[in-house]
Amino acid sequence: MAQAMANGKISGGGEFTTSCHDFLKSKYGFNNCLLTNSCTAALEMAAILIDINPGDEVIMPSYTFVSTANAFVLRGAKIVFADSNPRHPNIDVETLEELITPKTKAIVAVHYAGNACNMETLLALANKHNLYIIEDAAQAIDGYYTFTDGTRKPLGSIGHLAAFSFHDTKNIISGEGGLLVINDEKFIERAEIIWEKGTDRSKFIRGETASYGWVDIGSSFLPSELTAAFLLAQLEQIEKIQNKRLSIWNHYNNLFANSNFETPNIPTYSSNNAQMYYIVLDSIQQRINIIEHCKKNHINTAFHYLTLHKSHYYNTQHDGRELPICTRFANGLLRLPLYYDLGLEEVEYIVKTIVELV
């Protein structure tokens, strides 16, 4: 960051931004990518790129963060919420075909806790119905999907577009921050324009035009060089960070193995990027009891998403379908502490504290 300041240019799109892009493209095989101010911003860019217009429908899980939906609602989309997989909060791909209409434009695959959605089924659906697949990879940095033929691809490199988050709560952070990945070639030029406030400034900077002007809608999606410099330092440590997080995750999982708690069920096609360790409880009341008990013992645990189809904002627009599985996760899922500096003895203390209550 000191170097960014010494460069005399801390606005966006400088050398640290380029270094982050290069690192991510090289490590994960992204066709192209652009740092953004947030994962929310990357999703908004995706909604603009696939040209969402009022009335277009977008299918996504109800068990996700508000930004997954908001980004498309801002462009006028109708959100069609799908239920979760019985064994995992990710979208239940078996339920999707009946939700597709002639107005459906995209399916958003949210890789919950960094675990891959069933991408082959999603790609087949997209192919059959001419839809876009947008990966909401907010939690999925360094996650992988293994195809049935054995091919292994990084999450975010599979859909037409993908969005990552570098928010504080993620594996790799820059406070606030995100990334748009552009895998479909046809979006690359326009993405650069939308990123630069709807102007062809990127071309101007490369000397391809004498001045730059307003050519499209867009926003100021690019983060500062200060943010990019912080992010680059994190990316350079990614293996160390991931190894440490995995050791914490595995310790939790081993310690819970002999308990009766429902622990994360990672699909066979998905890697584990150790984004989150959670248990799923039988009821809201059981969860409240555990949260209270943990709090007394100085442990911060947290539930996660409320279902979006029942939200104050969208419940009257939802078509009334019950989505019982995502409701189960909304009521029962409890996230346990998982951060780089967490010691393995602390993990033991946390598990002991929870198990002793039952």
The residue among 153 and 310 lying less far from its own copies, judged by its C-beta, is: 310
Closest alpha carbon to 325 in 137, 140, 162, 112: 112
Distance of alpha carbon 316 from alpha carbon 339, whole angstroms: 38
Residue with tokens 């239920």: 83
Number of alpha carbons in the 13 Å side-chain half-sphere of residue 76: 9
CB of 8 to its own copies, least distance (A): 9
**Of the listed pieces 93-101, 109-117, 184-192, 221-229, which binds its own copies according to CB under 8 A?**
221-229
User: In the window 225-244, what residues touch its own copies (CB under 8 A)?
Assistant: 225-227, 230
The rounded radius of gyration (Å) of the Cα atoms in the chain is 21
Least CB distance to its own copies at residue 54 (A): 8
Taking CB under 8 A as the criterion, the residue among 11, 31, 127, 285 binding its own copies is 11
Closest distance of CB 53 from its own copies, Å: 11
Q: Residue 192 and residue 227: Cα distance in Å, rounded?
A: 19
Q: How far is the CB of 167 from its own copies (least distance, A)?
A: 6
Q: Rule CB under 8 A: say whether 275 interacts with its own copies.
A: no
Q: Is 217 in the site for its own copies (CB under 8 A)?
A: yes
Give the binding range for its own copies (CB under 8 A) out of 109-117, 138-146, 263-271, 305-313.
305-313
When asked if residue 214 is in the footprint of its own copies (CB under 8 A), the reply is yes
Cβ neighbours around 273 below 10 Å, total: 25
154 or 223, CB closer to its own copies?
223
Interaction with its own copies in 138-167: which residues (CB under 8 A)?
A: 167
d(CA 115, CA 113): 5
Tokens 């650069």 correspond to 192
| Nearest distance from C-beta of residue 303 to its own copies, angstroms | 8
- Nearest 5°: the CA angle 35, 173, 307 is 90
Nearest distance, CB of residue 260 and its own copies, angstroms: 27
Candidate ranges 8-16, 125-133, 137-145, 290-298; the one touching its own copies (CB under 8 A) = 8-16
Q: Does 69 bind its own copies (CB under 8 A)?
A: yes
Residue 77 CB, nearest distance to its own copies (Å)? Answer: 11
| 93/162 with CB nearer its own copies | 162
Cα 32 from Cα 154, distance rounded (Å): 14
Helices 284-296 and 324-332, interaxial angle, to 10°? 20
Q: Is 222 in the site for its own copies (CB under 8 A)?
A: yes
Site for its own copies in 81-120 (CB under 8 A): none
10 touches its own copies (CB under 8 A): yes
Q: Closest separation between CB of residue 133 and its own copies, Å?
A: 23
Q: How far apart are CA 43 and CA 48, in angstroms?
A: 9
Helix (H) or strand (E) holding 145: strand 144-146
User: Are the C-beta atoms of 175 and 231 separated by less than 8 Å?
Assistant: no
**Contact between 55 and 76 (Cβ < 8 Å):** yes
39-49 vs 188-195: helix crossing angle, rounded to 10: 130
44 makes contact with its own copies (CB under 8 A)? yes
- Spatial distance between the Cα atoms of 357 and 354, rounded to a whole number of angstroms: 6
Instruction: Give the C-alpha separation, 139 to 170, whole Å.
Output: 6
What is the spatial distance between Cα 95 and Cα 326, in angstroms, rounded to a whole number?
Answer: 13
Q: Which of 161, 180, 181, 308 binds its own copies (CB under 8 A)?
A: 308
Q: Does 264 bind its own copies (CB under 8 A)?
A: no
Nearer to its own copies, 54 or 150 (CB): 54
For residue 213, the 8-state DSSP code is: -
Q: For binding to its own copies (CB under 8 A), which residues are involved?
A: 1, 4, 9-12, 37-41, 44, 54, 65-67, 69-71, 73-74, 167-169, 173-177, 197-199, 211, 213-220, 222-227, 230, 303, 306, 308, 311-314
